[in-house]
C-alpha cells in the first residue's frame, strides 16, 4: 500500500461506481426531447431544396411553432379524403391544412424543432361527414 492512498469502504466504492455509471448513461439519453403538436399550416417552407425547410403550425391556443421538415416523413392520415390526395403527400402541404407534427427539440441548435414525421390530417376547410348514430329505438314495456 502507498502511504498516501485513501482507504474507502467497499460500500462507498460501489456507491461511487454506480453514481458514475448512472451519470454517464443518463447524459447519453439527455440529447433531445420528442414532442407532438397539431394545428393549421400558416406559413409554408420555401420551394428551393435546402438543409432547412421551416413549416409554421398554429395550434388551437394560438401558439405558432416552427419545425424543420427537411428530413421528415410526410404522409396522409387514414381519414384524409382519398379524392383530395396527391401522388406526393408533400404536395398537400398548403396553407390552412391541418397537420400533426412529431419532432425532436434539438438542444445543439438552440432548441429548434426537427420534424421526424408530418401527418396531414385534413385539407383546408374540410369537415368530416357526420355519421348517424345507430342508437337502439326505445320500446314500450309490456305489462
Kindly indicate the confidence band of residue 13, based on its pLDDT and cuts at 50, 70 and 90.
Answer: low
pLDDT of 17 reads: 62
82 Cβ neighbours under 8 A, 6+ residues apart: none
Domains contained in the chain, CATH given: 39-122 (2.40.50)
pLDDT of 62 reads: 94
96 Cβ neighbours under 8 A, 6+ residues apart: 40, 41, 124, 125
CA distance 106 to 112: 6
Average pLDDT over residues 119-125: 90
pLDDT in tens, 24-33: 555 455 556 8
pTM of the complete model: 0.65
Higher per-residue pLDDT: 19 or 73: 73
CA distance 99 to 5: 63
Whether the pLDDT of residue 102 is over 70: the answer is yes
DSSP 114: E
Amino acid at each position: 500500500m502507498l502511504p498516501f492512498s485513501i482507504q474507502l469502504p467497499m460500500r462507498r466504492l460501489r456507491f461511487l461506481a454506480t453514481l458514475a455509471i448512472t451519470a454517464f448513461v443518463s447524459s447519453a439519453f439527455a440529447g433531445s426531447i420528442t414532442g407532438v403538436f397539431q394545428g393549421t399550416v400558416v406559413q409554408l417552407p420555401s420551394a428551393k431544396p435546402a438543409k432547412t425547410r421551416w413549416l409554421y403550425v398554429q395550434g388551437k391556443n394560438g401558439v405558432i411553432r416552427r419545425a424543420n421538415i427537411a428530413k421528415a416523413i410526410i404522409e396522409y392520415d387514414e381519414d384524409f379524403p382519398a379524392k383530395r390526395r396527391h401522388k406526393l403527400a408533400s404536395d398537400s402541404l398548403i396553407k390552412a391544412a391541418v397537420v400533426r407534427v412529431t419532432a425532436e427539440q434539438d438542444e445543439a441548435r438552440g432548441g429548434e424543432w426537427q420534424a421526424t414525421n408530418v401527418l396531414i390530417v385534413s385539407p383546408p376547410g374540410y369537415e368530416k361527414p357526420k355519421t348517424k348514430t345507430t342508437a337502439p329505438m326505445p320500446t314500450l314495456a309490456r305489462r
